[in-house]
């Protein structure tokens, strides 16, 4: 891929629901063509942050830029068209459509037969091409959704707990797959599974009570006392 991918940068992003502050003052850059992870305990504000990036939630204050473009408060569909794709936590595919039809809906341009075959083999769904999505097992739904995100030819891929409910083998395959994306697309992963994050060797940011308490390479994070106290220490 020869397109240069702009930087996704968050500046002082906050979001509150009534008096509750879900995300406070988050500033972070997600470097182009890099693997990024966001970790943190339940309720740390990870999903809220992701929702703001992809436009499902409005930003209370602060700004989100994608390259030169300010996307905080832009509508979801517009952000998607800029090239930011998202995979939900619970696999969200279109249950009444077949696998191939799901791709036809998600692809940003009409897919040629070759492109379709390529995607199908990438996510290992070639044999299931005409299966109705509702009949796929959980793991394959996850892959289908990742495939749908890829078919949008995104510049940024936001993944909300991609390994939730997957077997050990499936998790390993996911991790291997994400590493192949390095250098092609900016990936931001929300994850719980520490082994998985370690495996990814990604740039990692730790959220706690809506605030960033640490950010850096995974080794740095692992050796950060504060992080160990609030999060890693609990394991």
Partner 1 sequence: MTTTILNTTPGQITRKQKLGPASIIAIGIILALLILPAFVQGYTLTSYRDVLLFALFALSLDLFWGKTGILSFGHATFFGLGAYGMAIMSIHFSIDPAIVSLVGLLAGVGMAALVALIVGYFILYGGVRGAYFTIVTLALTLIANHVAVGWPSVTGGDSGLIGVPPFSILGWSFADPISSYYLALIVLGACLLSSMWVMSGRLGLILTAIQDDEIKVQTLGYKTPLLLLMTFAASAAMAALAGGLYAAGNGFVAPDMIALLLSTEVIIWVAVGGSGTLVGAVIGTAIVWWLQQKISSINASAWPIVIGTFFILLVLVFPKGPAAFVLDKVKKLRRDKEDDR
Q: Give the footprint of partner 1 on this chain (CB under 8 A).
A: 54, 56, 75-78, 80-81, 85-86, 88, 92-98, 100-102, 104-106, 108-113, 129-130, 148, 152
Task: Please choose, from the candidates 92, 18, 20, the residue with its C-alpha nearest in 3D space to the C-alpha of residue 54.
Answer: 92
**C-beta of 83 vs 210, nearer to partner 1:** 83
Closer CB to partner 1, 188 or 200, in the complex: 188
Spatial neighbors of 153 by CB under 8 A, at least 6 apart, are: 83, 108
Closer residue to partner 1 (CB): 2 or 96: 96
C-alpha distances out from residue 171 to 1, 102, 198, 199, Å: 26, 23, 13, 10
> Which residue blocks in the chain are alpha helix, DSSP H?
46-53, 76-82, 99-106, 113-122, 138-151, 168-181, 194-200, 218-222, 225-230
Nearer to partner 1, 41 or 76 (CB): 76
CA distances from 32 to 43, 83, 158, 184 (A): 27, 13, 13, 9
Cβ-based nearer residue to partner 1, 94 or 177: 94
> In the complex, what is the shortest distance from the CB of residue 47 to partner 1, in angstroms, rounded to a whole number?
13
Q: How far is the CB of 92 from partner 1 (least distance, A)?
A: 5
Residue with smaller CB distance to partner 1, 7 or 100: 100
- Measured distance between the N- and C-terminal CA atoms of the chain, rounded to whole angstroms: 40
How far, in Å, CA of 102 to CA of 94, rounded?
A: 6
Cβ 146 to partner 1 shortest distance, Å: 13
The residue assigned the tokens 């390529």 is 118
């Amino acid at each position: 891929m020869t397109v240069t991918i702009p930087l996704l940068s968050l500046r002082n992003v906050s979001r509150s629901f009534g008096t509750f502050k879900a995300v406070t003052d988050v500033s972070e850059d997600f470097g182009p063509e890099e693997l990024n992870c966001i970790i943190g305990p339940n309720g740390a504000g990870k999903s809220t942050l992701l929702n703001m990036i992809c436009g499902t939630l409005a930003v209370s204050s602060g700004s989100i830029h994608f390259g030169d473009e300010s996307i905080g408060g832009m509508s979801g569909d517009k952000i998607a068209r800029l090239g930011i794709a998202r995979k939900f936590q619970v696999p969200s595919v279109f249950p009444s459509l077949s696998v191939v039809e799901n791709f036809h809906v998600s692809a940003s341009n009409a897919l040629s037969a070759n492109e379709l075959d390529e995607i199908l083999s990438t996510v290992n769904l070639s044999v299931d091409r005409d299966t109705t999505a509702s009949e796929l097992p959980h793991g394959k739904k996850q892959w289908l959704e990742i495939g749908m995100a890829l078919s949008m030819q995104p510049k940024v891929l936001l993944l909300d707990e991609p390994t939730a409910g997957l077997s050990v083998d499936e998790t390993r395959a996911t991790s291997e797959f994400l590493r192949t994306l390095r250098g092609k697309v900016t990936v931001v992963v929300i994850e719980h599974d520490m082994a998985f994050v370690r495996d990814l060797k990604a740039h990692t940011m730790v959220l706690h009570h809506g605030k960033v308490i640490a950010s850096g390479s995974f080794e740095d994070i692992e050796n950060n006392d504060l992080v160990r106290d609030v999060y890693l220490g609990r394991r």
